[in-house]
Homo-oligomer: A and B are copies of this chain.
Amino acid sequence: MAFPQVEAFRGGENLIRVVGHRGARGVLPENSMIGFDFSLSIDVPLLEFDVVLTADDVPVITHNHRLHAPTFRDTTGRFLAGEEPKVSSLTVEQIQQFDIGRLDGQSAYGRRFPDQAQLDGIRVPTLMNLLELVESPKYGNACLMLELKSDPDLAHDASHRQKFVKCVLQELRAKSMSSRAVLHSFDWNLLEECQHQAPDMPSSYLTQLPDNSDDVGEDSSKAVCPDFRGRRDEIPVLVKEAGGSLWCPYFADVTAENVALAKELGLCVAVWTVNEHDDICRMIELGVDAIVSDYPGRVQRHLSDLGIRWRTAH
């Protein structure tokens, strides 16, 4: 089955795609409407973002299962302290009381993004907010890399998975976005459920080797996936067998061999999260299809200098 949205992520002769990570986390608050709008406005129509379900079953765009203390401020303007409440225990209305416009510079996480604009009054968007934005004709070329975050507490609850996927698909279909989104996850069970409920949509497999899991300060949702230890160059085969259309490895895990193998298998290779100049250069040399970055402008600079395009017609 050929999926038009997979082709939107595929590179080619003199062509490497740029994907805005959580909007453009290096420039603007992550997973915010203003961040998505920024990426779209700089000719980066491919958006990666994270979806979690609220207590009232609303898909909202936020990375962690718990409100992330270094980015959530309460109504008094203070960053959260103590145990972080779970997204699934709060209604969308309760979640939108918090302001996600700034980073706590006292935290290790906050210090990672020294150029991020600091704003006030920024709210966790719902998935629907974003779908309404990309529905606008000027963003008709936008495609969504929609990461479904599987709740580690519910990893073995099939009924929760079913409900989560159903709620997300309902919204995508309501806005006729199923041909403009890829369903993306670390959780292979969840992607199996996606393929079951939405055979008309492509799956995107996120992977990270345990040896290279140095992405600090983030509650990566529990990975329900094969044991990759010692199998670095076989991962594309496993992804293909599982029914994947895209393979999204952590950038440190890719090699000339596994990129070539993935391409042979027809997989589109989108690497994350590539922020440092040297890493961007290495990914360009390896000829990946797409580069997911917190600094999409930085990736464009490298591509532009090399005369490489990031869309089919410039």
Interface readout for A116-158 with B: 1 if CB under 8 Å, 0 if not? 1111100000000000000000000000000000000000000
CB <8 Å contact, A118 and B304: yes
Q: What residues of chain B lie closer than 8 Å to A116, measured between beta carbons?
A: 297, 301
CB distance from A65 to the nearest CB of B (A): 26
Interface readout for A92-113 with B: 1 if CB under 8 Å, 0 if not? 0000000000110110001001
Q: What residues of chain B lie closer than 8 Å to A249, measured between beta carbons?
A: none
Q: What residues of chain B lie closer than 8 Å to A44, measured between beta carbons?
A: 117
A207 within 8 A of partner (CB): no
CB distance from A182 to the nearest CB of B (A): 24
CB distance from A297 to the nearest CB of B (A): 3
Interface centre among A43, A295, A305 (most CB of B within 10 A): A305
Q: Which of A34-42, A210-218, A232-240 participates in binding chain B?
A: A34-42
Complex Cα gap A42–B106 (Å): 22
CB <8 Å contact, B304 and A105: yes
CB <8 Å contact, A34 and B28: no
> In the assembly, how many copies of this chain are there?
2
CB <8 Å contact, B301 and A103: yes
Within 8 A of B (CB), among A16-68: 26-28, 34, 38, 41-44
A interface secondary structure, majority: loop
Choose one: B28, B77, B113, B298; the contact of A115 (CB below 8 Å): B298
CB <8 Å contact, B304 and A27: no
A277 within 8 A of partner (CB): yes
Q: What residues of chain B lie closer than 8 Å to A303, measured between beta carbons?
A: 118
Complex Cα gap A41–B122 (Å): 12
Q: What residues of chain B lie closer than 8 Å to A41, measured between beta carbons?
A: 34
Q: What residues of chain B lie closer than 8 Å to A27, measured between beta carbons?
A: 27, 297
A296 within 8 A of partner (CB): yes
A300 within 8 A of partner (CB): yes
Complex Cα gap A77–B313 (Å): 13
Complex Cα gap A106–B41 (Å): 25
A314 within 8 A of partner (CB): yes
Complex Cα gap A295–B298 (Å): 14
Complex Cα gap A115–B38 (Å): 14
Q: What residues of chain B lie closer than 8 Å to A301, measured between beta carbons?
A: 103, 105, 113-116, 118
CB <8 Å contact, A106 and B297: no
Q: Please, could you name 30 A-B residue pairs with CB atoms under 8 Å apart, sorted by A? A: A26-B115, A27-B27, A28-B297, A34-B41, A34-B42, A38-B38, A42-B117, A43-B117, A43-B119, A44-B117, A77-B314, A102-B304, A103-B301, A103-B304, A105-B301, A105-B304, A105-B305, A106-B305, A110-B305, A113-B301, A114-B277, A114-B298, A115-B115, A115-B295, A115-B297, A115-B301, A116-B301, A117-B300, A118-B297, A118-B301
Residues of A in contact with B (beta carbons under 8 Å apart):
26-28, 34, 38, 41-44, 77, 102-103, 105-106, 110, 113-120, 277, 295-298, 300-301, 303-305, 314
